[in-house]
Amino acid sequence: MTDKLQGVFTPHMVPLDAHGRVAEDELRRYIDWLIERGVHGLYPNGSTGEFTRFTADERRRIVQIVCEQAAGRVPVLAGAAEANVAETLRACEAYAEYGARAVAIVSPFYYKLSSESVYAYFREIARNSPVDVTLYNIPMFASPIDVPTIRRLAEFDRIIGIKDSSGDVAFMMRMIAAIRPHRPDFTFLTGWEAVLVPMLQVGADGGTHATSGVVPELTRKLYDLTRAGQLDEAISLQYRLLELFDTMLYSADFPEGFRAAVELRGIRLGASRQPMSETQQVDRSALQRVLHCLVADFGLIDPPSEGCPPRNGQPAAGVGREHISHIAQQVIDQLRQRGVL
């Protein structure tokens, strides 16, 4: 049996040149940079990678480059979401040929579908895909995949896991309780990095996290600390990463905050294909100065020459410290009651 997917997968961005074309050499350099800094896997054509802003041919080329450059050093989980089953299966065929370990496929979007239609969609893919499939549940953008549907789909050997971006710890627990007894090989990944520590504590195998494209050293450390049971240190790091995550996510249209932060690490991403107004360009420059201080606070880059304002130790607005602390403590208390900790 092929190794189970686990760890932190990076839904990396795609560098563009001055003409808005994929900058292939810089993409290869970025892939090497991520692998050298400890990411467990790569996730091209994810939401952070702006897959909807590329053509089908470009999406295929991106995956081909990533698979070539990874060269088996880490697994590639390739986003294969297309407009219909036939196009999705064509993408699956191409990515299997390129060497992707598996594909991640979002449930149908734009049209709101019933659970039965979601099941029928993935059943058709499972019966015909030449490569392993990971379900992708992102209810804010696509038809949700509920637990009974996931349980039915897990009966297909070709479906090997799910990435859930709801951020709902209880939903993750319900999935694991319903499926793991029957499919211990089934992978559970969280797409909401603000709660990675509690997700791992309840049994998730890892996650796909945009922050790992900015500070891969730290997301790897967070995963390793949690797996080693060093929970106090892990939770402290989760709080610090939460401030960076919130700033990147909530201070600009997604994923522009992540683009600004990746550039601070020396990766030349170029301008997004989404145009920006003059006001947005000014705001982005201000945001990058804030991000510069946040990343420098981890010791990964030098602080700006003009210095940084004093830190008050509080996370940025968004998912609050109290919220994640409450979730983490509930999980830890439950596991202690069960004798796991």
Instruction: pLDDT tens for the chain, 341 residues: list them.
Output: 468 999 999 999 999 999 999 999 999 999 999 999 999 999 999 999 999 999 999 999 999 999 999 999 999 999 998 989 999 999 999 999 999 999 999 998 888 899 999 999 999 999 999 999 999 998 888 889 999 999 999 999 999 999 999 999 999 999 999 999 999 999 999 999 899 999 999 999 999 999 999 999 999 999 999 999 999 999 999 999 999 999 999 888 899 999 999 999 999 999 999 988 888 887 888 889 899 999 999 999 999 988 887 765 554 443 344 443 444 454 455 555 655 44
Angle between helix 231-250 and 278-297 (nearest 10): 170
Which amino acid belongs to residue 296? A
- The pLDDT, as a whole number, for residue 328 is 47
Buried b / exposed e along 117-128 (16+ C-beta atoms within 10 A): ebbebbbebbee
Sheet strands (E) in 138-278: 159-164, 187-190, 206-208
Domains and CATH numbers, the chain: 7-337 (3.20.20.70)
Give the Cβ contact number of residue 219 at 10 Å.
27
Could you say which DSSP state residue 146 is in?
-
pLDDT for 221 equals 98
143: which 2 tokens?
């038809």
CB 201 within 8 A of CB 173: no
Q: How far apart are the first and last CA of the chain?
A: 30
Task: Name the strand (E) or helix (H) holding 280.
Answer: helix 278-297
> Residue 230, Cβ neighbours under 10 Å: how many?
13
pLDDT of res. 97: 98
Q: Are 163 and 134 in contact (CB under 8 A)?
A: yes
Q: How far is Cα 190 from Cα 199, in angstroms, rounded to an integer?
A: 7
What are the residues whose beta carbons fall under 8 Å from the beta carbon of 211, sequence distance 6 or more?
A: 193, 218, 219, 241, 244, 245, 248, 258
Q: What is the pTM of this model?
A: 0.89
- 261 contacts: CB under 8 Å, gap ≥ 6: 214, 244, 248, 288, 291, 295
